[in-house]
Amino acid sequence: MALTPSPLAYVPFVSVANMMKLVHHVGIETFLLELTDAMEADFRRWESFDKTPRLAAHSEEGVIELMPTSDGEFYGFKYVNGHPKNIKEGLQTVTAFGLLASVGTGYPILLSEMTVLTALRTAAMSALAARHLAPEGAACMAMIGNGAQAEFQALAMKAVCGIDTVRLYDIDRAATDKVLRNLDGLDLNLVACDTAQEAMEGAQIVTTCTADKQFATILTDNMVGAGVHLNAVGGDCPGKTELHRDILMRSDIFVEYPEQTRIEGEIQQLDPDHPVTELWQVITGAKPGRTGPGQVTLFDSVGFAIEDFTALCYVRDRLEGTDLYEKLDLLADPDEPRDLFGMLLRAAP
């Protein structure tokens, strides 16, 4: 007795291999669209979540973060790192995994890889903001920075906002070529550009996603025309920004969670009381989003725990009826809860 773990001891685990199978099982664009819709639903009930800035451990090389949240019924958190130098050593800049648990019992109910899932949810988040902020009929996006996020961003804007053209620029042409290869045959017009300025020509949506941990200026004010929706994804920790301050000054700025964005986002360059609008309030209709065709809107995206929570819940729901998970012997579950030591004794060889 008690030599094999009880069913309560097992936590469903989604490996990277199974996450990729799940994405193909659902379809990449359908996955992105459904995830965007799920995120919109959770943003509508924003006030029902416990919110706290992420807990970050900074080092010279990068940052390791824990991002927890809860809606009172479920608790979720993500472990995620950001190490820009990793790429030079053949490692991912960002890796992540996450967990869902029951608030009522504290028992974990899902452990999942979140490197692939974070890429998907970050793109879905951008698409959700663009759905509410981009100019009507936006058909062309510029993608500045053609790293690991680029294809996900492009496909999410296609699936959710209906864009048909992506203009690509990266300081490393090999990165752009990678995107050209990967998106070939996915029903998008792809235009490789030699400068960021060229990439932005005719684009109604401009997404920046570069990885340097330093105050960078990927875009300057003269490059941004009227009516554009800017989606700044790469500036996401102290000291890491992409846009010139002048762009911020003439944009209407939308954020996920101001307490976190003021520390980590593009707006760390601005006064701490510079007006910003919380995106959830645009989605519920409490605050205006885009108010005219000439307005420059900026979504200062840093990534918030609720988005990961949504993604984990979406994966949990989508796993049902599949065998795309393993069962992990993560929790000790003795026959008699107080008899943990007895369980250990009985496991003696």
Per CB under 8 A, which of residues 166..205 are in contact with a second copy?
A: 175, 178, 181-182
- Active-site residue, from 42, 236, 300, 308: 236
Nearer to a second copy, 83 or 167 (CB): 83
Distance, first Cα to last Cα, the chain = 14
How far apart are CB 68 and a second copy at their closest, in Å? 6
Nearer to a second copy, 143 or 253 (CB): 143
Site for a second copy in 117-146 (CB under 8 A): 119, 146
Structure tokens at 177: 């070529």
Structure tokens at 202: 């005719």
Site for a second copy in 209-268 (CB under 8 A): none
Site for a second copy in 299-338 (CB under 8 A): 328-334, 336-338
**What is the β-pairing status of strands 63-70 and 55-58?**
antiparallel
Per the CB < 8 A criterion, the answer to whether 256 and 301 are in contact is: yes
Q: Which residues are bridge partners to 207 per DSSP?
A: 143, 231
How far apart are CB 315 and a second copy at their closest, in Å? 14
- Per-residue contact flags (x/-) with a second copy for residues 3 to 22, judged by CB under 8 A: -xx--xx---x-xxx--xx-
Residue 212 designated active-site:
no
Burial of 47 (0-12, 13-18, 19+ CB in 10 A): exposed
- Per-residue contact flags (x/-) with a second copy for residues 88 to 107, judged by CB under 8 A: -xxxxx-x-x-x-x-xxxxx
Nearer to a second copy, 82 or 135 (CB): 82
Nearer to a second copy, 252 or 326 (CB): 326
Q: Is 113 a binder of a second copy (CB under 8 A)?
A: yes
Structure tokens at 28: 């990449």
Give the separation between CA 190 and CA 37, rounded to whole angstroms. Answer: 26
Phi-psi region of 47 (alpha: psi -120 to 50; beta: other; left: phi over 0): alpha
* Among positions 116, 196, 282, 283, the unique one binding a second copy when judged by CB under 8 A: 116
Per the CB < 8 A criterion, the answer to whether 118 and 96 are in contact is: yes
Site for a second copy in 34-93 (CB under 8 A): 50, 52, 55, 57, 59, 61-64, 66, 68, 70, 72, 75, 77, 79, 81-83, 86-87, 89-93
Question: At what angle are helices 16-26 and 28-44 packed, to 10 degrees?
Answer: 90
Backbone φ and ψ of 49, nearest 5°: -100, 145
Beta strands in the chain (DSSP E): 10-14, 55-58, 63-70, 74-82, 96-102, 108-113, 140-144, 165-169, 189-192, 205-208, 215-219, 229-232, 241-243, 252-255, 277-278, 297-300, 326-329
Give the separation between CA 165 and CA 76, rounded to whole angstroms. Answer: 36
Is the dihedral angle over the CA atoms 128, 134, 138, 141 positive or is it negative?
negative
* Residue 225 identity: G
Per the CB < 8 A criterion, the answer to whether 112 and 101 are in contact is: no
* Among positions 115, 165, 197, 220, the unique one binding a second copy when judged by CB under 8 A: 115
Number of amino acids touching a second copy (CB under 8 A): 83
Point out the residues that are catalytic.
236
